[in-house]
Amino acid sequence: MKYYARVENKIAYKLGLITAEKAMKPTHIGGKEYTHEMFEIDRESYENGNHGKKVNINGVLVPNKYVFVF
């Protein structure tokens, strides 16, 4: 099974996960702006995202409050 995550747009740009060009096209989920790009994550990161821990996205640890995992 594959797991995916989207990161809040501003945080993703600050952490270098997306470029300025990609930051121009956010996706709106639950009143927040998330990256249009979906990042594939492993099961451990998925579990961390659902349990209040940091999520490993492309080698960058992102606090779960800025991440939407599915």
Domain ranges of the chain: 3-69
pLDDT of residue 32: 93
Arithmetic mean of pLDDT, 3-19: 94
| CA 64 – CA 14 distance, rounded (Å) | 16
pLDDT digits (tens, 9 = 90+) for 32-67: 999 999 999 999 999 988 888 999 999 999 999 999
pLDDT of residue 9: 94
pLDDT of residue 49: 86
Give every CB contact of residue 13 below 8 A, 6+ residues apart in sequence. Answer: 19, 20, 23
pLDDT of residue 24: 92
Q: What is the pTM of this model?
A: 0.85
